[in-house]
A and B are shown apart, each in its own frame.
Chain A
Amino acid sequence: MFGYYFKLALRSLRRNLVLTGLMVIAIGVGIGASMTMLTIYRAASGDPIPQKSAVLFVPQIDNFGPQPNAPPNQDFLPQDLTYMDAMALMRAHLGLRQAAMYATTQSITPPNAAQDPLEGYVRATYSDFFSMFDVPFEYGGPWGKAEDDTHASVVVLTRPFNDLLFDGMNSVGRMLTIGDKPYRVIGVLDDWHPSPRFYDLGQDSFTGTDQLFLPFTRAIDQQMSTSGNLNCDRAGPGSGWDGLLHSNCIWIHFWVELSTASGVSKYRTFLHDYAAAQRQSGRFNWPPHVALRDVVEWLTYNHVVPVAVGTLTSVSFAILFVCLINATGLMLAKFMARSGGVGVRRALGATRPAIFAQCLVEAGVIGLVGGLVGVGLTKIGLVSCRSVLPPDLSILTRLQGADVLIAVAVAIAVTLVAGLYPTWRATQVHPAAQLKTL
């Protein structure tokens, strides 16, 4: 039966090419616009580390106190920690793994004297960073606790940076000058682009510009200043490097891995007790105000998805809606134009359900073709968006194999919904009245 209806549908669609074309274009444009924006939206809001996002947490401690002009619906917790608080959490060592970190920009002098010095984006962190975030290595490996403790001059390179400096060769054991001190290469990462770069949502959080990793303890010794945000209260950063380390300024990110629910609640209690102790010592004069958020909560809390992308996505769904209304109207026209034919089939014994099925198959065929057109338009849409979007977002906008199937399935589904009313109207045709007019 389906095959017959399918053949009827094709014949009927061929009969009025203009109406068919308009319907297919309407569905295609609607699917194309919404799929384009949805792909961009998904790229901007994806889970960057799905296998571990539920066990990685960011602790926050209110070290600035209640803000006089804070809006009531925001918690206004600082995004980062002070050096002192970060070190206290490192010493407490309550998680399975934990790492304090910050970004710094340094001059890099390649071992090859013919190469000019260049700027390098450095992440200063602890050895747990690599195991906690499942960071893959191409050559060598991460440094260990011993290097953290001895403030060792070792460095891990990302693959692109290793390509740049060592032509992609195994550079483990080679030396490299960072600032004006020598460092030994201990590992080279394989491709690793968590996007968004959840562990540091500062600038360029979608492209993630880290190029080198070195021990946090070493970076502090070398007084490498942060290239990320540095927020201070009125007391300021104090005087000199030591002043900054002892100041109430926040600039250190901190991540902790907690694999059990009891571990999470223990950590919450610990944070609360820590803030209470700070209050007792006179450093805070407000009640403890702390939070512990996992990766997804952290991304939502920080509004990682650009607002404009959200707006554009809603607008693109408005387009899909208009396209569907459009398709409904056109299908209505098409089906009603065939009242005579439907009358004949009814007179020859076709039941209403049969007519219903036949019209729905026709709607489905329109949806299928419209969906395919929509996939093509999505590709065009993504290519055009890539050329105008900021590069940090545009690199993520690739259409995956599953998307094509989803697009076509959605197209068929929405066309069937759009076709319900016209189909119902077609089944109401009275055979006698129609036959009279033939």
Chain B
Amino acid sequence: MAGAPRLFGPPGYRGAQRLSPHGEGIMEFGPILSSLRRNKVGAALIALQIAVTLAVLCNALFIIEQQTALSRAPSGVEDEASVFVITNRWVGDSGDLAARERTDLAALRALPQIVDATVSFDHPLGGPLLSMGITLQPDNPRSGTGAAVYTVDDHAIGTLGLKLIAGRNFRPDDIVVSHGFNDHYSSLSGVVVTQAVARALDPGGNVLGRTVSIFPGAMTAPIIGVVDRLQSSPFAGDSPFAARSMLLPLLWADSQIFYVARAKPGQLEVAMTAARNELYRISRRRIIVGMQPLSEVRLESYRGDRSVALIMGVVCAILLGVTAFGIVGLTSYWVSQRQRQIGIRRTLGATRGTILRYFQSENLLIAAAGSILGILLALGANLWILRSIALARLPWIYLLVGAIAVLVLGQLAVLWPALRASSVPPAIAARSA
């Protein structure tokens, strides 16, 4: 031998001798290792591809899971598909807005297709966000928590189908008129909070009947009820604030308001048309800016999250495809390079299965090495992502699933070249000697 460096198994005598004539199944790692030593760079390239693929796959799957989990989180509203939101803007500052809203609400509630209706400054799963502070200790600026505010009347809990787990709903005489942020009350007759707020105020959640102070403005009010859940805003993500909301008994009489109505089961479409016609019949001095079921609001609010998940999914598929084709390409080349050795082994009695298993074990070995490197890379990438977005630490199950996925991918990719190898006729060894 002239000592020329060779990359792939050369048609050399020494290599052939090391191939075991009798296939011993998948455990023939000795000859594989010795053959890989001669294919160092090719094997390393496959292992590196598998490592990067695994690292990206684990983190991407994890991001997909996190993004879609947010968009599936319950809002606390019962049967979102039956609830719809009407965005109403008054034209000019004409007349007594509170009176006009009461007229509208009475008309909406009287519609045969509608169960109940309410009015608010915002609505679950979208809309603007009004956040205020609520505390049991008004003198301690660090006490209490921030919570999303829903300004509501006595029909909100019924319309949204919130589960009242303690205390009572508002009564009609609890509700006072508010003309906007600057309309200040020093006290309210009551406030309803979510269980998350109750726990933030008092670890035991024992808040019913206690007086809270609401900032800005230091409004005081007793907590008269606790609801199980009401999501604060889609923008709160999965932070602890996502479930912290409070309902204030304010009839919101401002230029823009949301009517929220619940249609009778199966009558959403007709209820929406009837509501629009009814509102325009009462007055055309308004703009109905939008009308949407809550289920649609949810889709729109989380559209970005779902897009990211979808693009991530496609990117993963592309990555897996590229890696698989890379394995097919390189292994096919190895097979064609080693035709003579394969022929010799077949002549010496190796079965087709032995040859097949040889290439599969070889790939398994490379993929396993790649997986180990990939797991380290995945953890590194996760740390880097952790710093740029507030994502959780990568759970080990993703590493396990990812590693199994790339090992299976390797086996599938190598199947075709390995089958071709196993069909090399023994006679080829004699032909080109």
Contacts and interface: CB of A to CB of B under 8 A. Distances in A.
Interface of A: 18-19, 22, 25-26, 29-30, 33, 68-69, 105-107, 109, 116-119, 177, 179-180, 225, 230, 232-241, 243-244, 306-308, 310-312, 315-316, 318-319, 321-323, 325-326, 328-330, 332-333, 336-337, 384-385, 388-390, 421, 425, 428-430, 432-433, 437
Q: State the majority secondary structure of interface residues on A.
A: helix
Interface string B221-256: 000000000000000000000000000000000111
A308 to B, nearest CB: 4
A64 to B, nearest CB: 12
A71 to B, nearest CB: 11
Contacts of B330: 329-330, 333
A117 B287 contact: yes
A327 to B, nearest CB: 9
B86 to A, nearest CB: 14
A325 to B, nearest CB: 5
Contacts of B304: 306, 308, 389-390
B286 to A, nearest CB: 8
A325 B319 CA distance: 12
Contact of B216 (A118, A179, A235, A307): A235
B25 interface: no
A421 B41 contact: yes
Interface in B88-116: 89-94
Contacts of A19: 329, 333
B49 A117 contact: no
Contacts of A328: 45
A107 B91 contact: yes
Contacts of B181: 225, 230, 237, 244
B333 A337 contact: yes
Contacts of A232: 216
A180 B287 contact: no
Nearest to B184: A239
Given A244-B181, A244-B182, 17 more contacts: A19-B333, A33-B315, A68-B141, A68-B142, A107-B255, A107-B287, A177-B92, A237-B216, A241-B182, A310-B388, A315-B315, A322-B52, A329-B42, A388-B307, A388-B310, A428-B4, A429-B4
Interface of B: 1-2, 4-5, 7-8, 11, 41-42, 45-46, 48-49, 52-53, 55-56, 59-60, 63, 67, 89-94, 133, 141-142, 180-184, 215-218, 254-256, 284-287, 289, 303-304, 306-308, 310-312, 314-315, 318-319, 321-323, 325-326, 328-330, 332-333, 336-337, 385, 388-389
A391 to B, nearest CB: 9
A143 to B, nearest CB: 23
A105 B329 contact: no
A390 B217 contact: no
A243 B93 CA distance: 20
A211 to B, nearest CB: 14
Which of B7, B53, B60 has the most chain A CB within a 10 Å cutoff?
Answer: B7
A430 B182 contact: no
Contact of B218 (A177, A234, A308, A330): A234
Given A33-B315, A236-B184, A315-B60, A326 B93 contact: no
Nearest to B307: A388
A316 B304 CA distance: 18
A18 B318 CA distance: 19
Contact of B53 (A236, A311, A322): A322
A332 B42 contact: yes
Nearest to A109: B91
A385 B90 CA distance: 38
5 contacts: A117-B287, A225-B181, A244-B181, A332-B7, A390-B304
Given A237-B182, A308-B304, A333 B133 contact: no
Contact of B215 (A22, A29, A236): A236
Given A312-B311, A425-B7, A107 B90 contact: yes
Contacts of A429: 4
Nearest to B142: A68
Nearest to B43: A329
Contacts of B46: 329
Given A234-B141, A325-B49, A428 B5 contact: yes
A345 to B, nearest CB: 16
Which of B11, B52, B312, B329 has the most chain A CB within a 10 Å cutoff?
Answer: B329
A310 B389 CA distance: 10
A45 B180 CA distance: 36
Going nearest first, the 10 A-B pairs with the smallest beta carbon separation are A236-B216, A180-B92, A333-B333, A236-B217, A326-B326, A329-B45, A388-B307, A107-B91, A308-B308, A430-B4
A107 B311 CA distance: 39
A312 B315 CA distance: 9
Given A236-B184, A429-B4, A325 B89 contact: no
B89 A119 contact: yes
